[in-house]
Amino acid sequence: MKSSAHHHPDAFDAVPRAPGFDLSTTFLKEGYAFMPRRHAALGSDVFSTRLMLRRALCVRGEDAGRMFYQPGRFTRRHALPATTMALLQDFGSVMALDGEAHRKRKAMLMSLFGPLERQRLVGLAAAEWRTQFARWPSAPRVVVHEAAQEVLCRAVCRWAGIPVNADEAAQRTREFAAMIAGAGAVGPRNWRGLFMRHRTEQWARALVDAVRAGQVQPPFDSPLNVIARHRDADGELMNRKHAGVELINLLRPTVAVARYIAFGLLAMHEHPQCRARIMARSDPGADAYSTQFMQEVRRYYPFIPAMGGRALHDFEWHGLHVKKGTWVLFDLYGTNHHPALWGDPDVFRPERFERWQSSGFDFVPHGGGDHYSGHRCPGESVTGDLVKSALQLFAGEIAYDVPPQDLTVSLRRIPTLPASGFVISNVRPAQA
C-alpha cells in the first residue's frame, strides 16, 4: 500500500478547495447547509477547507461512508472540537476508544440493546406517554419536544435500573437537554451544557459507587448494574469516571430522540394523509408504513450534521493518497440528502423506504457501517423503535389541535428543532 503512495497525489492537492482561507465562522453561520452547499457548488463529493485553522477533507455519499467507517482506519480522538466531544461523548467513552478496548466495551453496550431490552424500553416509554396523555386534556398547551424529553428521561432511567423520583427526573431532563442543545453551539449555550454535564457526571459516578458498595441494588441484568460491574480489556473494573460516562452515554442519546418525535409530529401535521395511514388500525400494512415514515423522518430532518475522524495511517481512496493524521469530516446530513442516492432528497416521501435495501452507508442519521465493529451508534435501532411507537400513540390514541406557531426548522442552529418545539392544544382521547 505504502509503495503506491508516490503514484497518487496528496488528497489535499487533488480535490477542489472551498474558496476562503478559514471557513469556521461560515460553518457556524450556515450550520447543516455548510457542506451540502459546497459539495453542490464544487460539483464534488470531496472538497478541502480549513476549519479552526486545521485543514479538513469534507466528504459525503455512500463511497465516502464506506471509506470513513472502515474499522481501524480512523480515530475519533481530537477529531471533533473538544467541547462538542465533551458534551456528546466524553474522552473515556466507547466513541473515543479504538481497537480491542473499543470492541470489548462496544460488545457490553450492544448487549444492553437486544430485542427484548429494546421492547422493554419502548414499553416503559409508552406507559409514560399514556400517563401524560391522561393529564393533557386539562393543560392549555403542551410543548411536545419538552414533554418528550421528560417522558424519555423517566423511561430510560427506569429501564436502566436507576431509581428517580419526579423532581430528580425533571432535574436530569434539564441537564440532558442542555447538553444536547449545547453540543453544536459556541459560547453560553455550550458553557451551560458543559456545566450541566459536570453535574450529571457527579450524579452518575455517585450511582456507580453506590452500586459497587451495595447501597443501591439494581436488577442484576439492568444497564446500571452491567456498567457498574463491567471489566475492561485488562480485566479491571472500569474506573468510576469512565463508568459514569458510559452511563450518561446510554441515557443522553435516548433523551435526544425527543427531537425526532417533534419532527415526526411536524411531518404528520404537514402530511395529514401520512397520519391517516399510521392510525389506520384495520390496515394490515399500517405497521410497515409506520416504519417507513419513521425512517423518512430520520432521513429528511437534520440531526447530527457530520462525523469527524483522524486517519490512523496512510491509505489510498479513489486515486487519492490520504495521509496519516488527515482530518476527515463525513457529512451525514448531506449524505441523507444526496441527490444521487435519493432522487428527490428534499421531498418528504416515506414510500421511498418500501423496497429500500440498506448498504449501511447510504442512510446515516447516526453514522454508517456495522454496529459491532465500527463506531455506528449502538442505540440506533432503539431510536427508531421509540420514534415509531410515539408517533403511533399520538396518531392512534389522542386527537389534538395544532395552534398557529413558528414551525420553521432552522438549518443554522445545530442541533435544530421546529422553532416552537411543536405545540399542541385541546388534547382529547381519539374517537374510537
- Reported confidence tier of residue 9, pLDDT bands at 50, 70, 90: confident
DSSP 3-state helix, strand, coil percentages of the chain (rounded to 5)?
Answer: 55, 10, 35
The pLDDT of residue 148? 98
- Across 191-205, 249-263, 276-290, least confident range: 191-205
* Cα 362 to Cα 16: distance, rounded to the nearest angstrom: 23
- Across 69-78, 141-150, 340-349, least confident range: 69-78
The answer on pLDDT for 285 being more than 80 is yes
| Model confidence pLDDT, tens digit, residues 286-344 | 999 999 999 999 999 998 888 888 999 999 999 999 999 999 999 999 999 999 999 99
* Average pLDDT rounded to a whole number, residues 112-138: 94
* Cα 100 to Cα 420: distance, rounded to the nearest angstrom: 44
- Across 58-62, 186-190, 192-196, 414-418, least confident range: 186-190
* Average pLDDT rounded to a whole number, residues 381-395: 95
The answer on pLDDT for 367 being more than 60 is yes
The answer on pLDDT for 376 being more than 60 is no
Cα–Cα distance list, 363 to 156, 210, 334, 335, 369 (Å): 26, 41, 10, 7, 10
* Average pLDDT rounded to a whole number, residues 193-200: 83
* Cα 333 to Cα 17: distance, rounded to the nearest angstrom: 20
| Model confidence pLDDT, tens digit, residues 389-409 | 999 999 999 999 999 999 999
The pLDDT of residue 168? 92
| Model confidence pLDDT, tens digit, residues 140-163 | 999 999 999 999 999 999 999 998
* Average pLDDT rounded to a whole number, residues 188-196: 76
Asked if the peptide bond before residue 415 counts as cis, ω within 30 degrees of 0, the response is yes
Write down the CATH superfamily of domain 2-353+369-429: Cytochrome P450 (1.10.630.10)
The pLDDT of residue 66? 92
The pLDDT of residue 104? 77
* Pair type for strands 54-59 and 327-331: parallel
The pLDDT of residue 1? 43
* Average pLDDT rounded to a whole number, residues 363-368: 76
- Reported confidence tier of residue 114, pLDDT bands at 50, 70, 90: confident
Question: Bridge-partner residues for 418, per DSSP?
Answer: 409
* Pair type for strands 306-311 and 74-75: antiparallel
The answer on pLDDT for 105 being more than 60 is yes
Nearest CA among 394, 117, 199, 111 for reference residue 279:
394
pTM for the model stands at 0.90
